A and B are shown apart, each in its own frame.
Chain A
Amino acid sequence: MTARSSFVPAPWLLAGPGTLFFVGLVLLPLALTVILSFHAYDHSSGIQNTFTLSHYVAVVTDEYYLSIFWRTLRIAALTTLICAAIGVPEAYILSRMRDPWRSIFLLVIIGPLLVSVVVRTFGWSMLLGSQGLVNQALELFGFPAAKILYTETAIVIALVHVMLPFMVIPVWTALQKLDPMVEAAAWTLGASRFTALRRVVMPQVTLGMLSGSLIVFGLSASAFAVPALLGGRRLKMAATLVYDEYLHELNWPLGASIAIIVLVANLCIMLAYNRLVETRARRTLG
């Protein structure tokens, strides 16, 4: 007879690679960034080995940084809103399609993700430029040319374009789980098509919409390539600001503290939003 050991290695071994990956690639760099953000910095001699809170103080008191944070928040929120406004109806139409078409349109929706973000963004800058297709079309119909490239509008347009699949897919999944007869039941009880959608279909896809908007908001708030290429040198968002601090100013501690602030702010907003919507939806949907 062998004595049975209370230590069973299999679960640990199975979880090991994933844990190692997570620790090495997420927790460790994050910890290093946090530490870095407290290091003092001197323009002539670089990073000092003394610790200070001055970077955080500088960031939260400087109008320049705050305006960039506001812009990031505004653009991310606007992108999420537009994605929900376009993506939810799109997902509904998709869920009502018959099969060859459904697969084709699903591919069309996922399409933007298959093209490199840089290539796609350059495409937008060609379309939106002062002599781009959009301005040419505007002039053709007698409207004055508009400055679109290097504005927030350009950033939002390109972000919506790439973020849409992240909204459509969770909402579509939620709709898949819906009994199509539930909508028919609402019609037979006297609801118009619109009322049935509003009162019966919409409340049941709230959870899908919630996860969709969390993904879209998080990715938009930390987007780099789109604001870098379509916002130009002057219109910065949080991610491009961090990039500039690191690679242009070489002030790594300041860059690190901005990154941490963005991360914490993002987390707070998403958790609060999650709590707000999810508790309400969970109570009724179970």
Chain B
Amino acid sequence: MAFLTLEGVSKEFGTFTAVRDVDLKIDKGEFVSLLGPSGCGKTTTLQMIAGLVEPTQGRISLDGRDITHEKPNRRGLGVVFQSYALFPHMTVAQNVAFGLEMRRVPQAERTKRVREALSLVQLSSFADRYPRQLSGGQRQRVAIARALVIAPPVLLLDEPLSNLDAKLREEMQFELRRIQRKVGTTTIMVTHDQAEALSISDRVVVMEGGCMTQVDAPYRLYEQPSNAFISSFVGKTNLLAGTWRRNGASSAVDIGGVLLEATAKDIPAATPVTLSIRPEKILLREAGTGRLDGRIASRFFLGSQWLFTVDTPVGIVTVSAPNQGGEPPEEGSAVGLDWSPANLRVIADTAVAA
């Protein structure tokens, strides 16, 4: 039996449906990310779990207990807000102690637990500072300590890293994962950053226009996206429109007369499809030796890798290659593109529309 369950949860604001029929089961100790572009309903879903927004339909249960209509202050969940929402008139220690105070925890134990929580987020020496005297990353850690000190069954994180600069964000990702592993709290994080979702979650839930479209482990999501939206939103990809051809045992995608061998299940012949291949799965070869010939239109040096855009008969294809130290092909030179057919993903266009 799952620890936290959402069954057919929907939320309408007037005539606008923010979240539609979300079904989700989360196990104890899991780290799950809700990933999607802004306005996809991921924050609304989180707020419904937190009790700050009441679902129009559906049921939310925690550890077998129905909490759909329970007030937020009775749920006892830890929430870290995007703005951190620290109490500006209280010190760090008072901020962290607030939840314990509300639970009438005796003074001595309160002090001890606040100290433990602050040492968990490595802020012990900042206990007497006010939030305005802290940096963004420190405030964020205070918010985490404040949410964790009440030992919540579930920790909810609303875009916790979006207000931090790039370098700090990367550090905090690992920090967040370290804390979560150590405490073992079931965690749900909302994010629009696919790299963040992929790097720290056990499972990623992709949301699109209020609906859940795929729930999978990060690497499976990346390798087997269920539709074209996910394949382009999670990582970079080349999307090529074509038609599905089948001839006995062999099958291929026909893109403007060029046939690219591929395999896919359950797609009838002559269906319009989208072919997806990730830039790092394409290998550059000598012209004429690959599956497809092309000419390098431009190249970008990204440090650890090179990014090429290649002009081919099927359109512009992006290719990335690790930086091996040598000089890569020049702009304008002819190259061949090769790949393993297993790395081609064929998605019927009906799935794109859904």
Contacts and interface: CB of A to CB of B under 8 A. Distances in A.
A190 B81 contact: no
A189 B76 CA distance: 7
B52 A187 contact: yes
Contacts of B99: 189-190
Interface stretch (B83-91, B161-169, B171-179, B328-336): B83-91
B102 A185 contact: no
A182 interface: yes
B89 A204 contact: yes
Interface string B62-88: 000000000111011111011101111
Interface of A: 179, 181-182, 184-192, 195, 199-200, 203-204, 284-286
Contacts of B77: 188
B73 A181 contact: no
Interface string B95-107: 0001100110000
Contact of A204 (B75, B88, B147): B88
Contacts of A203: 89
A39 B76 CA distance: 73
Nearest to A182: B85
B102 A195 contact: yes
A188 B50 CA distance: 7
A187 B72 contact: yes
A199 B130 CA distance: 16
Interface string B208-246: 000000000000000000000000000000000000000
Secondary structure at the B interface, as helix, strand, loop or mixed, is loop
Secondary structure at the A interface, as helix, strand, loop or mixed, is helix
Given A190-B99, A190-B103, A204-B88, A185 B130 contact: no
A150 B71 CA distance: 50
B83 A190 contact: no
A255 to B, nearest CB: 46
7 contacts: A182-B86, A185-B85, A185-B86, A187-B72, A199-B98, A204-B89, A286-B132
A275 to B, nearest CB: 19
A285 B87 CA distance: 10
Nearest to B132: A286
B200 to A, nearest CB: 22
Contacts of B130: 284, 286
A184 B72 contact: yes
Interface in B242-258: none
Given A187-B51, A286-B130, 14 more contacts: A179-B83, A181-B81, A181-B82, A182-B87, A184-B79, A185-B79, A186-B87, A186-B98, A187-B52, A188-B52, A189-B150, A191-B102, A192-B73, A284-B89
Interface string B143-169: 000110010000000000000000000
A192 B71 CA distance: 9
B146 A184 contact: no
A179 B85 contact: yes
Contacts of A190: 73, 76, 99, 102-103, 150
A202 to B, nearest CB: 10
Contacts of B73: 187-192
